[in-house]
Structure 1
Amino acid sequence: MRVQDVIKKKRHVVHTIPAQRTVEDAIVQMTERRTSALIVMDGEQPAGIFTERDVLRCHVAWRHRLFREMPLSEAMTDKLIVAQPDDLVSSAMAMMIKADIRHLPVVEDQRISLMLTISDLVKHHVGELTAELHYLQEYITDLQDAVQD
């Protein structure tokens, strides 16, 4: 199964914010858009990602500063780990687990087309396991019927 199979069911909305904004701006935008991550943009290019985890990290690191005084460029995660649509779902999950991240931007045609979350992958995996379980239950029922005949 490929990432593109998971993303077919997902809205293709990527929430972005300019790198020149503040942490407070990002928190407000995340709250208004009901999202847990924003792609931080430097002009037309992604410069990083800002997540709920970054909010906690910058609060602890800079307790003496107000969120409205913290430049987003200082608080964001600047190492952007991305997936491609033709990546295996198992590879995307492995990347997220290894990097201990919950958001994985998907890049198509050299731009971020959507944000894949660990929740998306878990839901997809559970769906696959449920379908497999149903298939195995039918198979066992068929075997039991064949033995009784």
Structure 2
Amino acid sequence: MPTAREVLKNKGSHVFSIGPQATAHEAALLMNEHKIGCLVVLDGGCIVGIFTERDMLRRVVARRLDPADALVGDVMTREVVCCQPDATLDDARSVIMHRRIRHLPVVDDRGRLNGLISIGDLNAWQITGQEIEIQYLHEYIHGRV
């Protein structure tokens, strides 16, 4: 069964982050620049939150806050759901689905950030696995194995 560690090994472990004292405007510019949907909020190397496109819409735009004044620490999601590197992709998908989130930080036993898995990463992994299985079955049916 594939794990979060395998996905990170394949896609890389770089995670874009921001501090809680940055503004929502700075966060939006960073997300736009890198074409990403979230930033992990780190304070002293520890995860203290996550700032997503959804946070921007619900907690900044809908409340008519000025993004240049709103601090990430005030509008971020504080309850960050994480998984460990050995978590199976089925478990990660279940957490993402049931918690209705799109990004799942991967942390080790010490709470250090190892990477980030998105719903898109899980879908891509699943599709690749299915394509391999289809190719194998096709070759089996046609006697090429």
Structure 2 length-normalised TM:
0.90
**Partner in structure 2 of residue 77 of structure 1:** 77
**Partner in structure 2 of residue 43 of structure 1:** 44
* Residues 104 and 116, structure 2, Cα contact 8 Å, conserved in 1: yes
Q: What RMSD, in angstroms, separates the aligned Cα atoms of the two structures?
A: 1.6
**Partner in structure 2 of residue 111 of structure 1:** 112
Q: Deviations over 1:40-83 (max 9, x none)?
A: 122222110001111111234412x2111212112111111111
**1:17 to partner: Cα distance:** 0.9
Amino acid at match of 1:114: G
**Partner in structure 1 of residue 16 of structure 2:** 15
Q: Which runs of 5+ in 2 are unaligned?
A: none
Q: Which runs of 5+ in 1 are unaligned?
A: none
Structure 1 length-normalised TM:
0.88
More deviation, 112-121/40-49? 40-49
The 5 Å alignment of 1:48-127 reads: 48-63=49-64, 65-108=65-108, 109-127=110-128
Give, in whole Å, the separation in 1 of the partners of 2:22 and 2:45. Answer: 15
Which has the larger share of helix? 1
Amino acid at match of 2:86: D
Q: Secondary structure at the match of 1:54?
A: helix
Q: Secondary structure at the match of 1:91?
A: helix
**1:141 to partner: Cα distance:** 1.6
**1:28 to partner: Cα distance:** 1.3
Amino acid at match of 1:57: R
More deviation, 123-132/28-37? 28-37
* Residues 41 and 47, structure 2, Cα contact 8 Å, conserved in 1: yes
Give, in whole Å, the separation in 2 of the partners of 1:112 and 1:94. Answer: 20
Amino acid at match of 1:74: D
Percent sequence identity is 35
* Residues 46 and 111, structure 2, Cα contact 8 Å, conserved in 1: no
Larger radius of gyration: 1
Amino acid at match of 2:85: P
* Residues 103 and 118, structure 2, Cα contact 8 Å, conserved in 1: yes
